[in-house]
Amino acid sequence: MESALNILLFILSIFIIIIVGMQGAKSEDASSAIMGGSSDSKLFAESKDRGIDLFLNRATIISAVAFFVIVIAIWVI
């Protein structure tokens, strides 16, 4: 049982790396990310994801929750 959960955890971690890498950048460029952005930066502004961005966002959240559930299950076993 524990080895099956470890294999599932490994596959899920690879999946999370792939979907996070596929997501588009939220900032305009790397210098704004490092230097804190411009004064008119809308870091916490509401923006609605559509299409593939919405799917990747939801897949990331679901995968992260599943990852932590599996980690806790392995810890309990």
> Which domain, by its residues, includes 5?
1-23+47-77
Total number of domains in the chain: 1
Does the residue 3 lie in any domain? yes
Q: How far is CA 55 from CA 21, 30, 37, 76, in A?
A: 14, 24, 27, 31
At residue 47, does pLDDT exceed 90?
no
Does the residue 34 lie in any domain? no
Average pLDDT over residues 43-57: 76
Does the residue 30 lie in any domain? no
pLDDT at residue 42 in the model: 57
Q: What is the pTM of this model?
A: 0.68
pLDDT at residue 25 in the model: 73
Does the residue 77 lie in any domain? yes
Does the residue 37 lie in any domain? no
Does the residue 36 lie in any domain? no
Q: How far is CA 13 from CA 20, 36, 42, 60, in A?
A: 11, 29, 31, 11
